[in-house]
């Protein structure tokens, strides 16, 4: 069995760094935090080895690929874990790690590059047997091309940036008369946000559900899935609540699509943890894109299966084969996760940096809280506003909802506004309880 690493650089911050460090501790590996100056004195860095990357701005610290790799070398780390967000899907980071003798804990660069191109990823998934959303066969080459494909697919259609994400570079055309404007605006936003104006087109599925499948694969061609998560409750394409299993799909669709996702991951040579993003169109789950990393909501899959995904990532990166076969991965109970952010939902979800004066997370059977926060923590204005994730496990969906409502009610936070009241309102709504919602609106809110 190949040995594990002695020291791992964690090129991330907040709850991400804390979560990865916890896995390192359990494996007897020394974690080293690579942090910005803004996070240098954060409570979670206490008694940890730290390398300062640079100033507070992410572009000068967490997003500076060369500084991150240099930090790993400087700290004598033989491996680097990028976490989720920041550089986690940047193939250049993986390439530079290899050049400096540092193992990148994630998929190889050629796979990340393939999946980073949405049109090439769709072609690869089609070849592997996944269902796709109808649309253009590759990048659009002109307005005339866009008009022809839109007419063939049928309105409404959605223009999307080839290398986009986070809802940027996306525009809707509901009729032929809107195609030219939507296409041009999508190109302009893609150019500003991602440095290129390559755009493709998909049929707009307006009453869909957002479902994702967690997969794990080793370098020996073995791949498994850990079930699906329903992430339909979103705002501006940012997830708010995740749950598993999805209340919107049948057992037959679930089994067939999850198995296909694992086969597709193996077919493209995927290595490590990743997520297939799909859209439920009627009773068909259609592939949208693949995230070549763990996601914030990986904890939902961990609680349903009892498997530690970060530990598995590290072991796979060290060259060990998958520790599990598909038939040894249980899928039990119902799990819900709520993201607690320092935001003011009543004020357009405005970020709310400041000092946390009271911090008392809920505790109890079936409750997990992943966080980096304690009383006195100063929420910086430079980064994502996530404070904590509450994950609850129930016997069934009704039990999980009840447990989450109790956990939210018990969570005491003062000093900054949070999304806790909003989550409680959503979970208590008839729309959420009955599952009568889709990606078009937040159930029960405002």
Answer yes or no: is 440 within a domain.
Answer: no
Answer yes or no: is 446 within a domain.
Answer: no
Distance CA 266, CA 181 (A): 40
* β-bridge mates for residue 104, sequence order: 80
Answer yes or no: is 124 within a domain.
Answer: no
Half-sphere exposure at residue 324, Cβ-oriented, CA atoms within 13 angstroms: 20
Distance CA 86, CA 29 (A): 23
248 and 159 in a single domain? The answer is: no
Residue 165: the pLDDT is 73
146 and 278 in a single domain? The answer is: no
Q: How many domains does the chain have?
A: 3
Distance CA 25, CA 90 (A): 26
DSSP 320: P
Answer yes or no: is 317 within a domain.
Answer: yes
Residue 380: the pLDDT is 96
326 Cβ contact partners less than 8 Å away, ≥ 6 residues apart: 224, 225, 262
Answer yes or no: is 229 within a domain.
Answer: yes
Residue 142: the pLDDT is 97
C-alpha 364, offset from chain centre: 26
Distance CA 163, CA 149 (A): 20
Answer yes or no: is 1 within a domain.
Answer: no
- Using left for φ > 0, alpha for ψ between -120 and 50, and beta otherwise, residue 309 falls in alpha
214 and 166 in a single domain? The answer is: no
301 and 411 in a single domain? The answer is: yes
Domain boundary among 161, 186, 203: 203
Q: Which helix (H) or strand (E) segment is 165 a member of?
A: strand 157-165
Q: How many CB atoms lie within 10 A of CB 87?
A: 23
167 and 262 in a single domain? The answer is: no
Q: Which of 71, 34, 50, 81 is nearest to 318 (CA)?
A: 81
Domain boundary among 186, 203, 220: 203
251 and 349 in a single domain? The answer is: yes
Residue 167: the pLDDT is 77
Distance CA 384, CA 382 (A): 7
Answer yes or no: is 122 within a domain.
Answer: no
Question: Residue 22's domain spans which residues?
Answer: 7-105
Which CATH number do you get for residue 161? 3.30.1490.20
360 and 391 in a single domain? The answer is: yes
Q: Which of 117, 125, 62 is nearest to 91 (CA)?
A: 117
264 and 381 in a single domain? The answer is: yes
Domain boundary among 203, 226, 259: 203
350 and 427 in a single domain? The answer is: yes
List, by residue number, the catalytic residues.
293
Distance CA 75, CA 406 (A): 43
Which CATH number do you get for residue 428? 3.30.470.20
First-to-last alpha carbon distance for the chain, in angstroms, is 54
One digit per residue, the tens of pLDDT, for the chain of length 446 reads 899 999 999 999 999 999 999 999 999 999 999 999 999 999 999 999 999 999 999 999 999 999 999 999 999 999 999 999 999 999 999 999 999 999 999 999 999 999 988 899 999 999 988 999 999 999 999 999 999 999 999 999 999 999 877 678 999 999 999 999 999 999 999 999 888 999 999 999 988 999 999 999 999 999 999 999 999 999 988 899 999 999 999 999 999 999 999 999 999 999 999 999 999 999 999 999 999 999 999 999 999 999 999 999 999 999 999 999 999 999 999 999 999 999 999 899 999 999 999 999 999 999 999 999 999 999 999 999 999 999 999 999 999 999 999 999 999 999 999 999 999 999 999 999 999 999 999 999 98
274 Cβ contact partners less than 8 Å away, ≥ 6 residues apart: 107, 115, 215, 216, 217, 265, 290, 291, 292, 293
Distance CA 217, CA 201 (A): 30
Residue 9: the pLDDT is 98
256 Cβ contact partners less than 8 Å away, ≥ 6 residues apart: none
Three-state DSSP state, 14: helix
DSSP 206: T
* β-bridge mates for residue 49, sequence order: 32
Which CATH number do you get for residue 49? 3.40.50.20
250 and 346 in a single domain? The answer is: yes
Answer yes or no: is 64 within a domain.
Answer: yes
Distance CA 379, CA 355 (A): 6
What angle do the packed helices 143-153 and 179-194 form, to 10 degrees?
A: 120
29 and 85 in a single domain? The answer is: yes
399 Cβ contact partners less than 8 Å away, ≥ 6 residues apart: 334
What angle do the packed helices 91-99 and 109-116 form, to 10 degrees?
A: 170
213 and 198 in a single domain? The answer is: no
């Amino acid at each position: 069995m190949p040995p594990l690493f002695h020291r791992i650089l964690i090129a991330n911050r907040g709850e991400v760094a804390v979560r990865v460090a916890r896995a390192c501790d359990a494996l007897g590996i020394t974690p080293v935090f690579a942090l910005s100056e803004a996070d240098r004195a954060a409570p979670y860095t206490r008694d940890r080895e730290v390398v300062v990357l640079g100033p507070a701005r992410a572009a000068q610290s967490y997003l500076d690929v060369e500084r991150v790799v240099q930090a790993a070398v400087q700290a004598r780390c033989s491996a680097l874990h990028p976490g989720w967000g920041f550089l986690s899907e940047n193939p250049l980071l993986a390439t530079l790690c290899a050049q400096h003798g540092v193992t990148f804990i994630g998929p190889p660069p050629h796979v990340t590059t393939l999946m980073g191109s949405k049109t090439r990823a769709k072609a690869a998934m089609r070849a592997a047997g996944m269902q796709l959303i109808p649309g253009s066969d590759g990048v659009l080459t002109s307005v005339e091309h866009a008009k022809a494909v839109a007419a063939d697919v049928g309105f409404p259609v959605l223009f999307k940036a080839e290398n986009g994400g986070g809802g940027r570079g996306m525009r809707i055309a509901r009729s032929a008369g809107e195609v030219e404007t939507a296409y041009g605006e999508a190109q302009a936003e893609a150019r500003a946000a991602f440095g290129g104006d390559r755009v493709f087109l998909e049929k707009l599925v307006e009453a869909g559900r957002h479902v994702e499948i967690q997969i794990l694969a080793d370098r020996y061609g073995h791949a498994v899935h850990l079930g699906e998560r329903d992430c339909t409750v979103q705002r501006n394409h940012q997830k708010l609540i995740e749950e598993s299993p999805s209340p919107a799909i049948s057992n037959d669709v679930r089994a067939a699509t999850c198995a296909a996702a694992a086969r597709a991951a193996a077919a493209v040579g995927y290595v490590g943890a990743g997520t297939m993003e799909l859209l439920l169109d009627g009773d068909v789950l259609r592939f949208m894109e693949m995230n070549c990393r763990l996601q914030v909501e990986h904890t939902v899959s961990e609680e349903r299966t009892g498997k530690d995904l970060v530990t598995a990532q590290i072991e796979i990166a060290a060259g060990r084969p998958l520790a599990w076969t598909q038939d040894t991965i249980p899928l039990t109970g119902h799990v819900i996760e709520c993201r607690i952010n320092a935001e003011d939902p009543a004020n357009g979800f405005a970020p709310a940096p400041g000092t946390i004066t009271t911090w008392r997370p809920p505790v109890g059977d079936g409750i997990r809280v992943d966080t980096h926060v304690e009383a006195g923590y100063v929420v910086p204005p430079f980064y994502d506003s996530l404070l904590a994730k509450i994950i609850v496990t129930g016997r069934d969906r009704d039990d999980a909802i009840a447990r989450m409502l109790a956990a939210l009610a018990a969570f005491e936070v003062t000093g900054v506004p949070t999304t806790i009241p909003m989550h409680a309102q959503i979970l208590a709504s008839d729309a959420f309880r009955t599952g009568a919602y889709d990606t078009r609106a937040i159930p029960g809110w405002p």
